[in-house]
Amino acid sequence: MGADHRAFLDATIPHLDVVWQVARHAAGKGQDPEDLVQETFLRAYAGFGSYRGGNTRAWLAAICLNAARSQARRRRRRPWEVPGPALLDALPWYRADGAEGAADVADVVIADLEAEKVSRCLALLPEPQRVCIVLVDVAGYTAREAAEALGCPRGTVLARVHRGRRRLAQLLAEAGVSHGQP
């Protein structure tokens, strides 16, 4: 059991940051991304004995997306449960790391507002487009890896990313996001 445990950790832990990024965007309102990451790794550990190798990153992303869908289905079946405040809304995406000195408070506030607008606009996209954009543009997957994680053709991923980016650009313009310009 120790060797299997070690093999699992060696194969999956390098991809923890990517799973976190996918979970942060896949978690719907009321879902905690940390819980989704934990569920992903629990499911991956349970299925590691039957895992035949290949692209571990895509395998973990597929598990994460399936876990998010399962949680969403459970939530729809239990409409009387009231989700708590979304952690994503409470945490700023931009944080000064102090490497270049203290950040200007106004810059931090503006960056937080812009990140919140981007997050809200991304949430308005249809799920297939949103998931493809998160995998390719946020998590850094190739189109082939995203296709493997989603179980669809590579061309489908490319089309969804293209359409999603166009729609996201429209939504961002309507929301007044500055696109990095003063």
Tokens representing 160 are 């969804």
By C-alpha distance, which of 177, 141, 178, 176 is closest to 160? Answer: 141
- Sequence spans of domains, the chain: 5-74, 85-174
By C-alpha distance, which of 43, 61, 34 is closest to 151? Answer: 61
User: Which CATH number applies to 5-74: 3.40.109.10, 2.40.100.10, 1.10.1740.10, 3.90.400.10?
Assistant: 1.10.1740.10
Residue ranges of the alpha helices (H) in 48-153? Answer: 56-77, 87-90, 105-124, 127-133, 143-150
Helix (H) or strand (E) holding 55: none
Better-scored residue on pLDDT, 23 or 92: 23
In this prediction, what percent of the chain has a pLDDT beyond 90? 19
**What pLDDT shows up at residue 104?**
56
Q: What is the CATH number of domain 85-174?
A: 1.10.10.10
Helix (H, G, I), strand (E, B) or coil at 106: helix
**What pLDDT shows up at residue 71?**
78
Angle between helices 56-77 and 2-12 (to 10 degrees): 90
Whether the Cβ atoms of residue 163 and residue 129 lie closer than 8 Å to each other: yes
Q: Read out DSSP for 23-46?
A: HHHH--TT--HHHHHHHHHHHHHH
Average pLDDT of every residue of the chain: 77
CB atoms within 10 A of CB 148: 20
Domains 5-74 and 85-174 are alike in CATH topology: no
**What pLDDT shows up at residue 79?**
47
> At residue 158, does pLDDT exceed 90?
yes
